[in-house]
């Protein structure tokens, strides 16, 4: 399934995408229970197919099976009735949020492509290099990335994100893939001069509205091999990064085993797996994102994540221009 989180009337809700429509899985499940004569149809739907992404992932295979049954039931519902009851919504009418709007943790891997390490004139790491990103930096698909007033060195970093579906501590690499619920697209937009002021990456990676994420969470069963996915980043239609996840230095089992050695992984945690070569600050001359630019990250089979870039002063003057948060 391709899952999204969308916003409606101030609520965040879960849906699956089908062609150019969003299917509200919780409402579809309630409709299925009503068709079976259940007087507590909505309560049953809330228990089996939660409307919240993290709660849905925590419910595991049972929730996926219940969602599948709800989707099958849609064929028996009049399409106009389904639209009226908000079971089916045109994607053009849906306000997308990051698929996991408030992850418990966002853990990012640095220097996970050999060519990226080479372009940065840095050695290949012996262990995964990790840093954290804060949830309130995330940017919804289509919402603007903000270039801060304090720097002009705003850089792109297209990445594959893995989302945890089963919690665990000190997970073995043999079991690691079982803990992944699905995959998404991430853009670890970085303010370079703040990143390199000191040896820690935190400041440069956590500016306001600097973490585009989405649009979909593609469930793990729908991805044949996450270690063989073409990934590109474009700025204004010009390809800047062109790689494949088969170039990872550290694969997902290694990353998950390493992270979970020291911190328990929780449902909804996001692991950004690192960016390939082609970042702006190592180009000659250096290139950085500017207001008016559009940055797009594409991962085959996972999705296309596109965001405009705006100046901070313009974002502050606007209404809600700083993304979903």
Domain residue spans in the chain? 2-96, 100-317
Is residue 97 pLDDT above 50, yes or no? yes
Report how far residue 167's alpha carbon sits from residue 269's, in angstroms, rounded to the nearest whole number: 9
Q: What is the mean pLDDT of residues 140-162?
A: 98
- Comparing 1-10, 179-188, 203-212, the range with the smallest average pLDDT is 1-10
Residue with tokens 């990103």: 133
Report how far residue 190's alpha carbon sits from residue 194's, in angstroms, rounded to the nearest whole number: 9
Confidence band for 321, pLDDT divided at 50, 70 and 90: very low
Which of 280-303 are b and which e, b meaning 16 or more Cβ less than 10 Å from the residue's Cβ? bbbeeeebbbebebebbbbbeebb
Residue with tokens 């228990």: 47
The predicted model scores a pTM of: 0.95
CATH code, 100-317: 3.90.850.10
CA distances from 312 to 126, 150, 189, 205, 207 (A): 38, 9, 15, 16, 11
- Fold for 2-96, please state it: SH3 type barrels. (2.30.30)
Instruction: Supply the pLDDT for residue 177.
Output: 98
Q: In 3D, which of 217, 220, 239, 233 has the Cα closest to residue 303?
A: 217
If you average pLDDT over every residue of the chain, what do you get?
A: 95
Tell me how crowded residue 88 is: count the other CB atoms within 10 A of its CB.
21
Q: What is the mean pLDDT of residues 303-307?
A: 98
Instruction: Supply the pLDDT for residue 319.
Output: 53
Is residue 75 pLDDT above 70, yes or no? yes
Is residue 325 pLDDT above 50, yes or no? no
Q: What is the mean pLDDT of residues 216-245?
A: 98
């Amino acid at each position: 399934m391709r899952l999204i989180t969308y916003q409606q009337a101030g609520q965040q809700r879960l849906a699956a995408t089908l062609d150019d429509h969003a299917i509200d899985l919780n409402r579809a499940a309630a409709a299925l229970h009503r068709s079976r004569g259940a007087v507590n149809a909505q309560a049953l739907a809330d228990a089996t197919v939660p409307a919240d992404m993290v709660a849905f992932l925590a419910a595991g295979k049972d929730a996926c099976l219940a969602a599948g049954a709800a989707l099958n039931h849609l064929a028996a519902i009049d399409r106009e009735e389904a639209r009226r009851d908000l079971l089916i919504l045109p994607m053009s009418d849906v306000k997308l949020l990051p698929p996991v709007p408030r992850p418990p943790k966002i853990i990012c891997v640095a220097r996970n492509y050999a060519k990226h390490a080479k372009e940065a004139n840095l050695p290949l790491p012996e262990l995964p290099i990790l840093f954290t990103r804060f949830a309130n930096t995330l940017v919804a698909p289509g919402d603007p990335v903000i270039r801060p007033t304090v720097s002009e060195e705003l850089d792109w970093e297209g990445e594959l994100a893995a989302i945890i579906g089963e919690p665990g501590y000190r997970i073995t690499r043999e079991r690691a893939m079982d803990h992944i619920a699905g995959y998404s697209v991430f853009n670890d937009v970085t303010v370079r001069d703040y990143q390199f002021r000191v040896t820690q990456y935190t400041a440069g990676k956590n500016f306001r509205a600097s973490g585009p994420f989405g649009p979909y969470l593609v469930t793990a069963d729908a991805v044949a091999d996450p270690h063989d996915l073409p990934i590109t980043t474009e700025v204004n239609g010009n390809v800047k990064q062109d790689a494949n996840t088969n170039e990872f230095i550290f694969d997902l089992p290694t990353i998950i085993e390493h992270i979970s050695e020291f911190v328990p992984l929780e449902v909804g945690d996001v692991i950004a797996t690192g960016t390939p070569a082609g970042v702006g600050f190592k180009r000659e001359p250096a290139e950085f994102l500017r207001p008016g630019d559009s940055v797009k990250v594409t991962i085959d089979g996972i999705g296309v994540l596109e965001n405009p870039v705006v100046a901070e002063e313009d974002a502050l003057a606007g209404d809600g221009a700083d993304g979903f948060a």
